[in-house]
Structure 1
Amino acid sequence: MNSERCDVFCYDEVKVERLHTDIAKVDFTETAQLFKALSDPTRLKIAYCLSCEKELCVCDIAHIIDSSVATASHHVRLLRNMGLAKYRKEGKLVFYSLTDEHIKQLVQIAFEHQNC
């Protein structure tokens, strides 16, 4: 007998119907893409750093994650393409930041036990 499953099949019809109706109205694709973007350890490190600072130059990001500027640029470009990060160019420098407070909060909640 598996103790992780019910011994008898039954379900709460009211809860099941309500939630079944609720999830039919929601498009989970965009949120799944968000978590997919953050599932890569390097991109998660970058998102964490961007949640701690208002913005970072791509050169700073490369040094923080111990990578080449090309690798850092690749990862922040993916974050940008997935709508999690934005950039601004100032002369020859490119600065990245998170797109909004929700992304920052999500990342900081994931690392609540750590401080920026």
Structure 2
Amino acid sequence: MRTILCLIASNCFMTYAWYGHLKKDTSDMPLLKLVVMSWAVAFFEYLFMVPANNIFGKKEGFTPFQLKTIQEIISLSIFCLFAVFFLGESIRWNYIVAFVFIIGAVYFMFLPASR
């Protein structure tokens, strides 16, 4: 559970670092300033991501493939909420269908290995 909670926190910072500047017009802002601002926020992402993968993920028995898959699902979930509530975007039917297919991929990722 610690892995999941750290990945959620990490993805909140990551999503804001990557997409938060889309809320306002930054066309007159120098690119370097945007990058430095995003890196400053992304620092906090790493404070959660590294322990989630390297410490908790190993202890909780996740494989690297499973960790990446969990991270992608969390990332898409956080982004959907962020896009709707922060950026004011709407969710279209095809986004939902694509998300369902990704959830199907998660199912297959966690099937027990057969030898």
Q: Do both share a fold (TM > 0.5)?
A: no
User: Counting strand residues as a fraction of each chain, which structure ranks higher?
Assistant: 1
- Between Structure 1 and Structure 2, whose CA radius of gyration is higher? 1
User: Counting helix residues as a fraction of each chain, which structure ranks higher?
Assistant: 2
Greater relative contact order structure (CA < 8 Å, 6+ sep): 2
Q: TM-score, normalised by structure 1?
A: 0.31
Q: TM-score, normalised by structure 2?
A: 0.31
